[in-house]
């Protein structure tokens, strides 16, 4: 492998970022705008070129029909997103974000990225993990290890506390997912005890509920019906996101709406007040949903809340006071945020990539992980001459420390049976149809005997890279059959990945050197539509000065006008 840098990547639902080890500590790298967080957003402009990151996120307010957000939630599915007359799968959209991260990181480091560790939610199943690997391949990233987000956060915390011994609960509430991991740190060894989560619960859900409340207030207090206008809905949702952030530090805030397009073609302006108590009243359901994974993780680890020494909060959504309060109630202690909640996962991924490389900076640190789901096979149950098929029998239970190897013995179900179809599933339900099918393999040459007289051992060997090796041994003959379910052998084949890579190469990306200017204007435009009066005039004037500088194409006036516009947007946001 050529010389270059090794990095950790947090591929998030809302934001993504890159970290690298700087001596003995991980640091987060700036992107092309000098910011640490790159929005996981893709938008198509009027000329058909694609924007990735901050400019795309800003356009979600003004051009929602041509912008895609939160596609991480659809990883591992067949969902198709349409942008600018083209179709993209969630893997391709994620690959665009990853490619942007790679380019920015290489620019910041001045050398190529030769290897990366990428994080995924602990409760991502095998299909989502395969999709993430496919996205990495499409983006041209060399990734051998994908690790769970809470595990990465544990590495970031554990790096600085190697001399301590303690049990910790990590609550990771990002934009789209919620994970809980219980771990134990002893003499530099981080042992994951259990993990649980909810793939459809995150900060975005809190924002959506707040947006619904704002729509209701506009109707009840001002008689303004938002209707189904995508632009109006996007404007209200952006207002809800800003209000959610303000309410993290204030008991009440005011939310203005200027020239909001309404049902029936009306345009109106209004302002509504919003209190933290009102917000938390509509957040009761997601807060209650957070309890179930916590309780499941505690049961699996066989630990009571009193046995937890530290509660660590990870993910931007954990800044909400109600989330911190819930964590304190569940464990009877105040949670810690000694590392920036948005940065901890990427920092831990940087630690992991150095661990994998055997770096001396982390030589005293060891981490184990656990299987987030049970893995098993389809079986048949016979009773009184009746057969019940489609049953799920686990071979390797969730919570098993990885790497692991487990074996179970099964018997033939029919007279004269000479083949066995090993149908592999992942999940916790008793019926296979309710779990996720990972693959199958046909074992031939079973001696023909009466039902139940021939036995086979099925062994699952699962490693830290997500490779599942399956060995089948026939008792009477000793015949052995082995096959592997590889993470890259899932939804996209190597041929499909190559095609996707070529497709993305043909996509017209907005010129990188122009991105600071495009982003500044997109952010200012997104703010402009929310303002009124003097503040709106100030933003308009700054935008026009900037546009004039761009027309003249003189670099120094452009830089000054852009900095002035960005400062105004920051102060008014």
* SS3 track for 144-201: EEEEEHHHHHHHHHHHCCCCCCEEEEEEEECCCCEEEEEEEEECCEEEEEEEEEECCC
Query: Based on the domain organization, do 393 and 449 belong to the same domain?
Result: yes
Q: Is 532 part of any domain?
A: yes
Q: Is 527 part of any domain?
A: yes
Bridge partner residues of 387 (DSSP): 382
Query: Based on the domain organization, do 516 and 454 belong to the same domain?
Result: no
Q: Which residues of the chain have pLDDT under 50?
A: 1, 487-490
pTM: 0.84
92, 104, 126, 149: the catalytic one is: 149
Closest CA to 441 of 476, 479, 406, 482: 482
10, 91, 310, 369: the catalytic one is: 10
Query: Based on the domain organization, do 476 and 529 belong to the same domain?
Result: no
Q: Which domain-ending residue is among 487, 520, 545?
A: 487
Determine the Cα–Cα distance for residues 94 and 40; give it in Å rounded to an integer: 8
Query: Based on the domain organization, do 462 and 518 belong to the same domain?
Result: no
Q: Is 74 part of any domain?
A: no
Q: Is 342 part of any domain?
A: no
- Structure confidence at residue 162 (pLDDT): 63
Query: Based on the domain organization, do 379 and 479 belong to the same domain?
Result: yes
Q: Does residue 149 have an active-site annotation?
A: yes
Determine the Cα–Cα distance for residues 17 and 116; give it in Å rounded to an integer: 12
Q: Is 541 part of any domain?
A: yes
Determine the Cα–Cα distance for residues 539 and 569; give it in Å rounded to an integer: 8
Determine the Cα–Cα distance for residues 484 and 472; give it in Å rounded to an integer: 12
Query: Based on the domain organization, do 483 and 517 belong to the same domain?
Result: no
The number of CA neighbours under 13 Å toward the Cβ of 250 is 12
Bridge partner residues of 404 (DSSP): 462
CATH of the domain at 411: 2.60.34.10
Q: Which domain-ending residue is among 452, 487, 522?
A: 487
CA angle, 440 then 446 then 451, to 5°: 100
Tokens standing for residue 359: 């770096």
- Structure confidence at residue 487 (pLDDT): 47
Query: Based on the domain organization, do 445 and 527 belong to the same domain?
Result: no
Query: Based on the domain organization, do 379 and 483 belong to the same domain?
Result: yes
Beta strands 375-383 and 386-396, pairing class = antiparallel
91, 172, 198, 342: the catalytic one is: 172
Tokens standing for residue 432: 């296979």
Q: What is the DSSP string of 516-544?
A: HHHHHHHHHHHHHTT--HHHHHHHHHHHH
Query: Based on the domain organization, do 413 and 478 belong to the same domain?
Result: yes
CB neighbours of residue 140 within 10 Å = 14
Q: Is 83 part of any domain?
A: no
Query: Based on the domain organization, do 459 and 553 belong to the same domain?
Result: no
Q: Does residue 244 have an active-site annotation?
A: no
Parent domain of 417: 375-487
Query: Based on the domain organization, do 470 and 564 belong to the same domain?
Result: no
Query: Based on the domain organization, do 392 and 467 belong to the same domain?
Result: yes
72, 92, 354, 491: the catalytic one is: 72
- Structure confidence at residue 465 (pLDDT): 67
Q: Tally the domains of the chain.
A: 2
Residues 6 or more apart from 450 whose CB is under 8 A from it? Answer: 415
- Structure confidence at residue 280 (pLDDT): 96
Q: Is 39 part of any domain?
A: no
Q: Is 405 part of any domain?
A: yes
Q: Does residue 10 have an active-site annotation?
A: yes
């Amino acid at each position: 492998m050529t010389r270059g840098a090794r990095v950790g990547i947090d591929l998030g639902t809302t934001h993504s970022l890159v970290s690298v080890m700087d001596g003995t500590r991980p640091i987060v790298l700036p992107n092309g705008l000098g910011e640490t967080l790159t929005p996981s957003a893709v938008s198509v402009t009027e000329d058909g070129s694609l924007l990735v990151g901050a400019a795309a996120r800003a356009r979600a307010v003004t051009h929602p029909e041509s912008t895609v957000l939160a596609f991480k939630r659809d990883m591992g599915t067949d969902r198709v997103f349409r942008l600018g007359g083209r179709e993209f799968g969630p893997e391709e959209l994620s690959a665009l974000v990853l490619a942007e991260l790679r380019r920015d990181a290489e620019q910041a480091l001045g050398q190529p990225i030769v290897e990366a560790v990428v994080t995924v939610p602990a409760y991502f199943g095998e299909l989502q993990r395969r999709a993430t690997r496919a996205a990495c391949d499409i983006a041209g990233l060399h990734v051998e290890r994908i690790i769970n987000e809470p595990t990465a956060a544990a590495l970031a915390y554990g790096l600085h506390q190697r001399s301590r011994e303690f049990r910790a609960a990590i609550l990771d509430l990002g934009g789209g997912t919620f994970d809980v991991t219980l771990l134990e740190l002893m003499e530099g060894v981080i042992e994951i005890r259990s993990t649980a989560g909810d793939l459809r619960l995150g900060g975005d859900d809190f924002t959506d509920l707040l947006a619904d409340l704002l729509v209701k207030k506009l109707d009840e207090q001002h008689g303004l019906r938002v209707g189904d206008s995508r632009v109006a809905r996007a404007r209200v949702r952006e207002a809800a996101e800003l209000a959610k952030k303000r309410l993290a530090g204030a008991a009440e805030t005011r939310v203005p709406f200027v020239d909001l397009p309404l049902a029936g073609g009306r345009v109106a302006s209004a302002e509504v007040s919003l209190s933290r108590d009102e917000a938390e009243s509509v957040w009761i359901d997601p807060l209650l949903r957070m309890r179930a994974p916590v309780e499941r993780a505690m049961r699996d680890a066989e630990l009571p809340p009193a046995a937890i020494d530290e509660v660590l909060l990870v993910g931007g959504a954990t800044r909400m006071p109600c989330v911190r309060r819930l964590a304190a109630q569940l464990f009877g202690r105040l949670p810690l945020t000694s590392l920036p909640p948005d940065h901890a996962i990427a920092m831990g991924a940087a630690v992991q990539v150095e661990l994998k490389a055997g770096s001396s900076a982390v030589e005293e640190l060891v981490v184990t992980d656990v299987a987030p789901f049970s893995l098993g096979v389809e079986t048949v149950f016979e009773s009184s001459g009746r057969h019940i098929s489609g049953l799920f029998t686990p071979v390797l239970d969730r919570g098993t420390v990885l790497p692991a190897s487990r074996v179970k013995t099964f018997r033939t179900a029919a007279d004269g049976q000479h083949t066995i179809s090993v149908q592999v599933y992942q999940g916790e339900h008793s019926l296979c149809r309710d779990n996720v099918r990972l693959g199958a393999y046909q074992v031939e040459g079973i001696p023909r005997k009466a039902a139940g007289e021939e036995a086979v051992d099925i062994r699952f060997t699962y490693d830290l890279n997500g490779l599942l090796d399956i060995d089948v041994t026939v008792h009477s003959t000793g015949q052995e059959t082995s096959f592997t379910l590889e993470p890259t052998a899932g939804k996209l084949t190597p041929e499909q990945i190559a095609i996707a890579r070529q497709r993305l190469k043909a996509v017209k990306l907005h010129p990188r050197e122009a991105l600071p200017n495009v982003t500044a204007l997109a952010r200012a435009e997104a703010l402009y539509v929310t303002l009124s009066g003097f503040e709106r005039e100030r933003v308009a004037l700054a935008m026009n000065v900037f546009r004039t500088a761009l027309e003249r194409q003189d670099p120094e006036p452009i830089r000054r006008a852009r900095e002035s516009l960005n400062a105004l947007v920051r102060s008014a946001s």
